[in-house]
Each structure stands twice: as C-alpha cells, then as structure tokens.
Chains A and B, each alone.
Chain A
Amino acid sequence: MSDLELDAVALGKVGMMRQTQPEFYVMRLHAVAGDLTARQIRCIARVAARYGRGSVHLSTRQGVEIHYVRQEDLEEARLELLEGGVEMGACGPRVRLIVACPGNETCRQGVIDTKAMAKTLDERYFKTETPSKFKMSVAGCSNNCSKATENDIGIRGAIEPEWVPASCSDCGLCMPLCPVRAISRRESGGNPETPFRYEADEASCINCSTCTSLCPSDAWRVGKRGYHVYIGGTMGRVPRFASLLKKFVTDEDDVYRLVEEAIAFYRQHGNKKERFGHMIDRIGLDTVREVILGSV
C-alpha cells in the first residue's frame, strides 16, 4: 500500500475522505440526530470559509461535510473545529452517525424521546469497528421519517392504545381512521353501563398512535409506550428492507441490550465488507433472531 493509500485509510478512521480530486479531502463532521448548536454552526462556517471553498454539504445522515480541504490543512482545520465544539465524523467500516427525527420533544406525533436514545447510542457505539459500515436510526412514530427500516438497526417508537369507555362518544371515527382497520366495535351483551365497546386487535395493530392522537373525545389513550426494533436494513447496490427483531419492547434498557447483542453478533460473524442485512440473509434470519433475542 502506498503512503498516500495508508494516509487515506488512517484519515478515513477519523472522518476524512479523499475526494475525486486527489489533492483535496472531505471533512465529515459529527452530529447526533442532526442537532448542532449555533456556536458549532458558526465554527463550521468559519472553517469552511478558511480551509474549504466557503460552503458545506448536508449529508443524508444529518451530518455536515466540508469539502475541498487540502491535506496539509486537515489537522489545523480539525483543531479549529474542536475548539468550536465540533468533532470529526466517521467513514469506512464502523458505526456511523446516529440518525433520529425530533421525536416527542417537538413533534406532535412523536411517541418517544428519540434524541435521548440517539445520544446514548452515539456515546456507546459511534465509531465502533464493524465488518462494514453500520448505520442506526431512531424514529419517533410509525411515520418513520428517519427511515428506521432502512438502517442496520432501526428503533421505532410505538404505543399500545387503550380504550376508555367513560370518555367515548361512540362516534365511530376510530374505525375508518385506523390505517390497518384494527379497531372494531362490539355490543356488550346488554350491559347497561357499557352497552358497547371498541377494541384494537393486538395482532393487527401497528402501534402507530393515530387513534390516540385523533380520537375526538380522547377515549383512545396511550396505554403503554415501547419500541419496535428492526435489524438488517440497508440501501446501496443491494438494498434490503429491515426485518423486525422484536415488537414492542417496553423497557428501554432491553433495547440497548438488543443493540449490543446485534452489533456483537455482526462483529463476530460478518464477513469483511458484508453489510449486516446481507449477513442475516446468509446465516438465516431465524437463526440470527434466536441468538440475539436469546442473549437478552
């Protein structure tokens, strides 16, 4: 391997990539859930103006990149970014930036604190070496804006709805509103206190919170909150939709245990440059699922 190639590998580990034009590098910057402070943004702008060409690129993983940086300027630029509270991102076979939607912090439909979860995942796993790139995403609800099901590990907020008879006006809106028609109305067999009841079929319910957020009389409420955990999603040359690992995990710590086991399994069994999802297809989803779930 030439010196230049060696340099490229080493620099890749710290989020610096050679461009098409060999004299220039891309500086890939770190962010969690796409959040940056004004101070960080001002610093990035200064560095982009001083060492790049005065512009930045917003990546598909909610990150920021500064292009057209000369190799001899990389270290100085990196230190200046660090002073402004900006660290370097990741390239190559390791855990990449954690992506997340705003979640219940600001989104009316958000069910979980996506940012807190993304932050924890970032602290524990960012830049962990893996057989190939490894991407994680946290989505706050079934709208799945952060595309949890296109990531190596995807976590999606979920709720279990519960029906409160005393609040129900029996308008019937919940039935056509449910995107999977999981809600039905039943007569209660002559019970004068609850002459009817509405039920959500557990097997068909996708835990999306449409009924709980839109019931006109708030008769559908959030019973439990939890997480759906998906594995093996990937884009690229051979895309793959993620497989459901476990539905409705209620304990947040269990989510982290599943992530830990999934990454450990991949590190142990994945071939070099083989994506997690393709490893799952090679070994067999049932086997992978059994091992990961069995360890938790």
Chain B
Amino acid sequence: MRVKNALLSLEPGELIEVFIDEGEAVFRVARTLKDADNRVVKVEPRPGGLSMIVEKGGKHA
C-alpha cells in the first residue's frame, strides 16, 4: 500500500527506491507493480530485505 501511494505522486518515467522486507511482502509488491505496469529497474539485497528501484509506468498527462 505504501509503495502504491508513493508511486501516485510520481510522473511516468520517474524513479523511486523502495525497501521491502523479505518474504511475502516481495510477492505482494511485485504483484502491485506488475498490475499497474510499473517497471522494476533493479533489485539489490539489503539486510533483512531488498531495495527495489522502480520506474513509474504509464503516459504523461
């Protein structure tokens, strides 16, 4: 939900870095991002979870 909300304030093409706990959260975030056509640019392991750089999908208004 927080990832979704954070992306709402971005323009298409803008990047954001999100930190996700290991486990089920990865699956949920991946699903949310895929459903909204956002692009995962890079994933890096971090202690206890992951850092994910996401590009906001969609077209400019």
Report which A residues bind B (CB closer than 8 A).
169, 171-173, 175-177, 179, 210, 213-214, 216-217
Report which B residues bind A (CB closer than 8 A).
22, 26-27, 30-31, 33-34, 38-45, 50, 52
Closest Cβ–Cβ distance, residue B44 to chain A (whole Å)? 8
CA distance A213 to B34 in the complex (A): 9
Complex contacts, A177 vs chain B, CB 8 Å? 26-27, 30
Complex contacts, A210 vs chain B, CB 8 Å? 27
Contact A176 B26 (CB under 8 A): yes
CA distance A176 to B51 in the complex (A): 11
Complex contacts, A169 vs chain B, CB 8 Å? 39-41
Complex contacts, B44 vs chain A, CB 8 Å? 172
Given contacts A216-B39, A216-B40, contact A176 B22 (CB under 8 A): yes
Contact B39 A214 (CB under 8 A): no
CA distance A241 to B22 in the complex (A): 28
Given contacts A216-B33, A216-B34, contact A173 B43 (CB under 8 A): yes
Partner of B41, one of A171, A213, A214: A171
CA distance A89 to B45 in the complex (A): 53
Given contacts A173-B52, A176-B22, contact A214 B42 (CB under 8 A): no
- 7 closest residue pairs by CB, A with B: A216-B40, A172-B43, A214-B30, A171-B40, A173-B43, A173-B40, A176-B26
Closest Cβ–Cβ distance, residue B19 to chain A (whole Å)? 13
The residue in B31, B41, B43 that gathers the most chain A C-beta atoms within 10 A of its C-beta is B43
Closest Cβ–Cβ distance, residue B60 to chain A (whole Å)? 20
Select from chain B the residue with minimum beta-carbon distance to A214. B30
Select from chain A the residue with minimum beta-carbon distance to B39. A216
Select from chain B the residue with minimum beta-carbon distance to A217. B39
13 CB contacts below 8 A, A to B, read: A169-B39, A173-B30, A173-B40, A175-B43, A176-B22, A176-B26, A213-B34, A214-B30, A214-B31, A214-B34, A216-B30, A216-B34, A217-B39
